């Protein structure tokens, strides 16, 4: 499973290298096996040829002897004038002759290696030889790292009657073949090493070539985003499979772009529909008391009433109050809908925050300043709007039965300006924390909930961020961060 975790390029390289290496080992193994098979066939054929010539020589001896050719005279026939020794010397092989019961009769070499010569043949050899169709029995043996072949056949008279058992022991001398095999393997190894080096180089460049297109596709896919324009992939020479993959990706990019446009349009339309519903709802709230006030004034109007001026004043105050409510709703909606213009100016953040807090008369708003000057690039009006909105939210979150505390702090952290606004209000529940910056979300009984959404838009326009930490029932800390000059 570890191999599957490697990159495709590495797997191709390792696989091709191992393929050549395994092929080389298999070819070497087959070569050695073939040499051994050929060596065995060579020794068996050589022994068979020598045995045939020995049999011919023995038949000639049987034809020329003056002794009667029978089982009892076998020893006399072959010892006559040392004929068995002549045959052995002529064919460079020792010869042993046993009687039909397996006892040794004649040995051409008494000191030949003893594992091929016994004074009495095992019964299995006699029984097996008697049952063989071609009357030839071959035994393989090994002693002291030397291999032997022992051939057993019958010596027969002219009428094919067995007279004795001929044993021809043969020592397999593989020195010459082994030298040839070693020399061949040495040359083969040199060729394989060269082939392996070539295969490694070829595997490296081939794997690099194969995965180059895939790397391009992978890098492009990693950069694919829904909220930006994505590039199509253009590849020159590539395989049919790579072309199919590229075409599929390009088609996906086209569809993604179309889907992104449709989604953005749909989201905008949905957002404006929600906003329109919210604005309509908020406007209807003051319209209802205005309508009731006007209808009541119409029914109860009496020019002769002594308190007519006081009643007109009360009716007018009620209408003005509701009109002011509608005006604040319109202003809030206008401020949110209009994205802050990037009117960047270099300003002292500490001083501007102090000016923003001057409009509040509340004595519980504390602004300790550790530094008199912290310089940043920001729009003065927008920064005041951010601070006042956060402070207003803090004030409105404090219940009436609690002594209010608002603390505004400005400091430098790393390379950023940080403004924190801390209150001891009711906090934000876990359920509402994910919705707090949504434009239409509010926990108040009045207002449209556009303040924090507007603050977030302003801060992000100036490459900043706004976060908060809150404990329900204890209070909230809003933290604004943006780059320092």
Domains of the chain as residue ranges with CATH: 3-179 (3.30.450.20), 240-337 (1.10.287), 345-483 (3.30.565.10)
Are the beta carbons of 357 and 330 closer than 8 angstroms? no
Buried b (16+ CB within 10 A) or exposed e, 251-263: eebeebeeebeee
The confidence band for 411, taking pLDDT boundaries of 50, 70 and 90, is very high
Residue that wins the pLDDT comparison between 44 and 325: 44
Residue 459 CB-density burial (10 A; 0-12 exposed, 13-18 middle, 19+ buried) = buried
> What is the structure's pLDDT at 189?
80
Are the beta carbons of 340 and 382 closer than 8 angstroms? yes
103 vs 88: CA distance, rounded Å: 20
> What is the structure's pLDDT at 407?
95
By percentage, how much of the chain surpasses pLDDT 70? 73
Mean pLDDT of the chain: 78
> What is the structure's pLDDT at 174?
63
Average pLDDT, integer, range 379-396: 88
The confidence band for 1, taking pLDDT boundaries of 50, 70 and 90, is very low
The confidence band for 445, taking pLDDT boundaries of 50, 70 and 90, is very low
Q: Is 0.85 surpassed by the pTM of this model? A: no
454 vs 464: CA distance, rounded Å: 13
Average pLDDT, integer, range 157-185: 79
By percentage, how much of the chain surpasses pLDDT 90? 12
């Amino acid at each position: 499973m570890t191999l599957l975790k490697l990159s495709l390029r590495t797997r191709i390289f390792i696989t091709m290298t191992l393929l050549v290496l395994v092929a080389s080992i298999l070819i070497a193994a087959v070569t050695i096996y073939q040499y051994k098979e050929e060596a065995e066939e060579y020794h068996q054929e050589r022994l068979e040829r020598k045995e045939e010539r020995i049999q011919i020589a023995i038949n000639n001896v049987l034809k020329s002897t003056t002794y009667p050719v029978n089982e009892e005279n076998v020893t006399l026939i072959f010892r006559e004038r040392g004929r068995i020794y002549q045959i052995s010397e002529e064919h460079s092989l020792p010869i042993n002759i046993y009687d039909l019961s397996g006892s040794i009769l004649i040995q051409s070499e008494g000191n030949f290696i003893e594992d091929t010569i016994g004074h009495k043949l095992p019964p299995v050899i006699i029984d097996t030889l008697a049952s063989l169709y071609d009357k030839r029995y071959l035994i393989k043996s090994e002693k002291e790292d030397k291999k032997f072949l022992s051939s057993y056949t019958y010596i027969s008279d002219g009428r094919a009657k067995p007279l004795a058992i001929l044993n021809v022991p043969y020592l397999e001398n593989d020195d010459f073949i082994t030298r040839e095999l070693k020399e061949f393997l040495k040359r083969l190894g040199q060729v394989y090493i060269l082939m392996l080096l070539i295969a490694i180089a070829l595997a490296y460049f081939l794997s690099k070539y194969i995965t180059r297109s895939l790397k391009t596709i992978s890098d492009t896919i990693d950069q694919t985003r829904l909220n930006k324009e994505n590039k199509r992939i253009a590849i020159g020479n590539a395989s049919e499979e790579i072309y199919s993959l590229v075409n599929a990706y390009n088609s996906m990019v086209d569809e993604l772009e179309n889907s992104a446009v449709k989604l953005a349009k749909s989201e905008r339309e949905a957002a404006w529909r929600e906003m329109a519903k919210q604005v309509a709802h908020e406007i209807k709230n003051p319209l209802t008391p205005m309508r009731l006030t006007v209808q009541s004034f119409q029914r109860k109007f009496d020019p002769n009433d002594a308190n007519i001026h006081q009643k007109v004043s009360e009716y007018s105050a009620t209408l003005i109050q509701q009109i002011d409510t509608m005006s604040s709703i319109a202003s809030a909606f206008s401020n949110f809908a209009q994205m802050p213009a990037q009117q960047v100016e270099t300003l002292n953040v500490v001083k501007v925050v102090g000016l923003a807090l001057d409009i509040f008369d509340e004595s519980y708003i504390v602004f300790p300043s550790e530094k008199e000057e912290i310089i940043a690039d920001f729009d003065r009006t927008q920064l005041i709007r951010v601070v006042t909105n956060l402070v207003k939210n803090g004030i409105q979150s404090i219940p009436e039965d609690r002594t209010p505390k608002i603390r505004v702090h400005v400091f430098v952290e790393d390379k950023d300006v940080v403004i924190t606004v801390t209150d001891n209000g009711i906090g934000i529940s876990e359920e509402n924390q994910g919705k707090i910056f949504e434009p239409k979300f509010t926990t108040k009984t009045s207002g449209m909930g556009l303040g924090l959404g507007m603050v977030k838009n302003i801060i992000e326009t100036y490459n900043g961020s706004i976060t908060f930490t809150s404990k329900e029932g204890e209070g909230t800390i809003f933290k604004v961060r943006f780059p320092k000059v």
